Chain A
Amino acid sequence: QVQLQESGPGLVKPSGTLSLTCAVSGGSISSENWWSWVRQPPGKGLEWIGEIYHSESTSYNPSLRSRVTISVDKSKNQFSLKLSSVAAADTAVYYCARDRSRTGGSYFDYWGQGLLVTVSS
């Protein structure tokens, strides 16, 4: 059973960089899946941020592309999210998730529990 666990600071200052890590257990990040980040502002809907393959190929939501970097660390079986120049609108629960497709851009069958990140001074 694949499990994902987000970690990182719960509070980030405006204009700073949000940095989160997702640890994968019960499976290899080098499997034929893509790995995604999805966020959900409090009381609102879901927004896909981007995804990565173990070969380090990435795909990002154009609305966030200029500020987002997703990377993978195969030795630690984890992947990470960096979001720069954050503002209050970036306050959200951030989820990591597994894309069930080998080609990416699909649906998400395993999710982390989510981590609330608040942007505030």
Chain B
Amino acid sequence: DIVLTQSPATLSLSPGERATLSCRASQSVSSSLAWYQQKPGQAPRLLIYDASSRATGIPARFSGSGSGTDFTLTISSLEPEDFALYYCQQRSNWPLTFGGGTKVEIK
């Protein structure tokens, strides 16, 4: 299985700051990577797919980049509603796998 390692585990930032989240794959997944946001008690929400394409209705402050084994999710200016858990997921190899998550918390 492809292992996705997310870092940092927790990111403490203030509203308005820039958030940079990392996802590293144990082997190349090309551009076959997605990012999800999850808030407490809610299902994940698709933010980014194919490494850099924003899903429907996702604000432009969310952007994704990377290919191969190293990927980044950037939130350009944190809004209060962006403080949540973020997961990456690969679709390059079976089985589909998710990273362990990064929590973005209010500093």
Interface residues of A (CB under 8 A from B): 45-48, 59, 61-63, 95, 97, 100-101, 105-109, 111-114
- Most A CB contacts (10 A, CB to CB) among B1, B44, B95 go to B95
- Most A CB contacts (10 A, CB to CB) among B1, B56, B89 go to B89
Chain A interface, DSSP helix/strand/loop, else mixed = loop
Question: By the criterion CB–CB under 8 Å, are B95 and A62 in contact?
Answer: yes
Question: By the criterion CB–CB under 8 Å, are B94 and A46 in contact?
Answer: no
Which of chain A's residues has its CB closest to B49's CB? Answer: A107
A111-B43 CB under 8 A given contacts A62-B95, A105-B94: yes
Question: By the criterion CB–CB under 8 Å, are A63 and B43 in contact?
Answer: no
Question: By the criterion CB–CB under 8 Å, are B95 and A63 in contact?
Answer: yes
Q: Which of A61, A63, A105, A107 contacts B34 (CB 8 A)?
A: A107
Q: What residues of chain A lie closer than 8 Å to B83, measured between beta carbons? A: none
A48-B96 CB under 8 A given contacts A107-B91, A112-B43, A113-B43: yes
A59-B43 CB under 8 A given contacts A107-B49, A109-B55: no
Besides the known contacts A46-B87, A95-B43, 8 further A-B residue pairs in the complex with CB atoms under 8 A apart: A45-B87, A46-B98, A47-B98, A59-B94, A106-B91, A108-B46, A108-B89, A112-B43
Q: Which of A45, A108, A109 contacts B100 (CB 8 A)?
A: A45
Q: Which of B1, B36, B91, B99 contacts A105 (CB 8 A)?
A: B91
Question: By the criterion CB–CB under 8 Å, are B95 and A107 in contact?
Answer: no
The 9 closest A-B pairs by CB, nearest first: A111-B43, A46-B98, A48-B96, A61-B95, A107-B34, A107-B49, A45-B100, A109-B46, A106-B91
Q: What residues of chain A lie closer than 8 Å to B42, measured between beta carbons? A: 113
The complex places the Cα of A106 from the Cα of B56 at a distance, in Å, of 16
Q: What residues of chain A lie closer than 8 Å to B94, measured between beta carbons? A: 59, 62, 105
Which of chain B's residues has its CB closest to A96's CB? Answer: B43
CB distance from B7 to the nearest CB of A (A): 14
Q: What residues of chain A lie closer than 8 Å to B96, measured between beta carbons? A: 48, 61, 105
